[in-house]
Amino acid sequence: MLRLALQTLCVELGEEGKDLNTDVKNLVKRGLPEVVQQSLDVVRVVGNKAVHPGQIELNVENKETVDALFELINIIVEYMISMPNRVGGLYNRLPAGAKEAIEKRDK
Give the number of domains in the chain: 1
Per-residue pLDDT tens over the stretch 68-94:
888 888 988 998 899 999 999 999 999
Strands (E) across 35-80 are located at 51-52, 55-56
Q: pTM here?
A: 0.71
3-state secondary structure of 31: coil
Q: Which domain holds residue 26?
A: 2-105
In the predicted structure, residue 58 carries a pLDDT above the cut 50: no
3-state secondary structure of 52: strand
